[in-house]
Amino acid sequence: MHKLAPLALAASLLAVAPAAAQDTAAPDIAAPDIAASAAAVRDKALADPTAWTIAESLTTDVGPRLVGSPEMVRARDWGVETLKRLGFQNVKVETFTASGWFRGEESAEVVGPVPHKLHILGLGRSSPTPKGGLTAEMALFRSYDEFLAQPEGSLKGKIAVVTGVMTRAQDGSGYGAINPQRSAGPAEAAKRGAVAYLIRSLSTDDTRLPHTGAARPGGIPAAALSTPDAELLERLAARGEAGGKPVTIKLNMTSRFEPKVEAYNISGELPGREAPDEVIVVGGHLDSWDPGTGAVDDAAGIAITTAAAKLAAGQGPLRRTIRVVMWGSEEQGGSSDAYLAAHKDEVGRMVMVGESDTGAGRIWQARLPKGSLDHPAMKAFRGAIAPLRVIVSREAPGFGGSDVEGLVEAGAPFVEFNQDASRYFDLHHSADDTLDKIDPAELAQNVAVWASFLHTVANSDVDFRALAARP
C-alpha cells in the first residue's frame, strides 16, 4: 500500500463532510476560540506524517515484541528515544515484573486415517508436549458450549478440538463473544481429561495463517488452528463418524514459560502551563505477539496517541499536561496493574484516560464521559470531528482499553473511540499483522480525532467527574 500525499489525504477525508453522521444534534459551538483551534489541529493531523513514521519505525527497527524478550528491551529503548526526539519531557521507564511465555518449535499433523499437515500457533501460556510430541485421538466439538457440556473426565487421553466460528462485526463484538474458547478452553479441556487442546483461531479470515493469543494455563499443550485446517478436521470427523475410523493427531510443541520477567511502562509528558498537575493519560501497548511485526496490534495505537499528543500541543502552550504511555505487557497481562500501583496517588488528578488498541481502522463512533456532551469543550470537539464521519453517541463509554482498566476502576474518567474492526481480526495475532495492512488515510483520521480531543480537553477547564455526578 502506498502512502497518500498529505494534501490528497486531507482532502479525501474532509470531502466527506456532507455525509457526516451524528447521534447528537449538530453542535452549537459555544467557545469559538477553542473550536477554531480544534479544527486547525484536525486539519494539521490529516496532513501530518508523524504517526506513519512512528509505526514504520517500530515495526521495522524493532519488529515483534514478546514480553521478556531481547526485542522488548530494544522496544523500551526505542520508546525512550522516540519520545525524547519528539520533544516529550519527563520521559521515564517504570520497570515491573510480569510473566513471559516463549514459543519454540511447534508442529501438528493428522496421522490417520488420512495424513495432513496442520498449521498451528501455540497459545500463550501453553504447556509443551512431552519430548518427541504426543499422538492421540481427536474429539471434535463444533461449538464451545457443546465442548463445555462434556462431563469431567470424559475426554481422557484425547486431543480436544473446538471449531466455533467468530462473527465479523464493525465493533469487534464477535471477538468478545467467542473469547472464552481460547482464554478458558485449555483449563476446561484439562478438567475433562484431555491431553491437548486445539481451537479454530479467533479470527475472521480464510487464510492458512493461524492466530495466537493468551490463555489461562491448563497444564496441557494448547494451540490455534488456521481456519481452513479447522474446517478440514470437521470434514475428517464427519467421515470418521460415518465410517467408524477415529481421527488421530500428532502434536509437538516446545514452548517455555517464565513466571517472572522484566517488563516496562514508558511515558513522556507535554507539560501544562496553568494546571500542570492536571494530567490527561493516553497511549497504546508496546508489546506484541511474535508471528507478525505487531503493526495493527499495537504499533498503530502507539503511533496514533503519540502523534496526536504532539499535534495537540502544536497550537501553543497547553493548559493541562498530556502524558503518553507505552504500556509494556498488555498481551500477557500485568501492565495495567503495574501502572495503577505506581500512580494510585495520582488518579484523582487524572482529568481523563484512554487507549488506542484496535488497529488503524477509521474511528466511526465516539463515546464521551457521562454528562459531558454539552460542555463547551466537548461541543468544540464535536464540531471539529463532524467532517470525519464520526458518530458521537449519547451513550457513556463502556470500555477504555485493557491498560487503563485499573485506572478506570480506581475512578479516572475515560473516553472510548470505537474503530472500524471489520478487518482487524483478519490480522490480529497472526503473521499477517504487518505494516502494509495499515491504511495511511485511516491512520490519519484516527490521529485527527484524538488530537482534536486532546487539544480541547488540555486547553479547557472541563471536569468530567463533576459533570458525571450531576443529576
415-432, pLDDT tens digit by residue? 999 999 999 999 999 999
Give the pLDDT band (50/70/90) at residue 30. very low
CA–CA dist 93, 342 (Å, integer)? 12
Secondary structure of residue 83 in the 3-state scheme: helix
Give the pLDDT band (50/70/90) at residue 241. confident
* E strand intervals along 61-171: 89-102, 106-112, 116-118, 120-122, 134-141, 159-162
Specify whether the CB–CB gap between 306 and 300 falls below 8 A: no
- What's the average model confidence in pLDDT over 5-16? 43
pLDDT by residue (tens digit) across 78-113? 999 999 999 999 999 999 999 999 999 999 999 999
pLDDT for residue 182 is more than 50:
yes
pLDDT for residue 25 is more than 80:
no
Give the pLDDT band (50/70/90) at residue 297. very high
**CB neighbour class for 290 (10 Å; exposed up to 12, middle 13-18, buried from 19):** buried
The grid coordinates of residue 29 equal: 459551538
pLDDT for residue 77 is more than 90:
yes
Nearest C-alpha neighbor of 221 from the set 244, 247, 238, 199: 199
- What's the average model confidence in pLDDT over 66-87? 98
Nearest C-alpha neighbor of 205 from the set 425, 359, 422, 421: 425
Question: Number of C-alpha atoms within 13 angstroms, CB side, residue 375?
Answer: 21
pLDDT by residue (tens digit) across 206-219? 999 999 999 999 99
Give the pLDDT band (50/70/90) at residue 224. very high
The residue annotated as part of the active site, out of 71, 278, 330, 416, is 330
pLDDT reported for residue 244: 80
CA–CA dist 196, 107 (Å, integer)? 13
pLDDT for residue 172 is more than 50:
yes
pLDDT reported for residue 29: 35
User: Which domains are assigned to the chain?
Assistant: 6-99+259-469 (3.40.630.10), 104-254 (3.50.30.30)
Nearest C-alpha neighbor of 378 from the set 22, 119, 101: 22
CA–CA dist 94, 321 (Å, integer)? 19
* DSSP classification of residue 273: S
Give the pLDDT band (50/70/90) at residue 365. very high
Give the pLDDT band (50/70/90) at residue 319. very high
Residue 346 a catalytic site member: no
pLDDT reported for residue 420: 97
Mean of per-residue pLDDT scores for the chain: 93
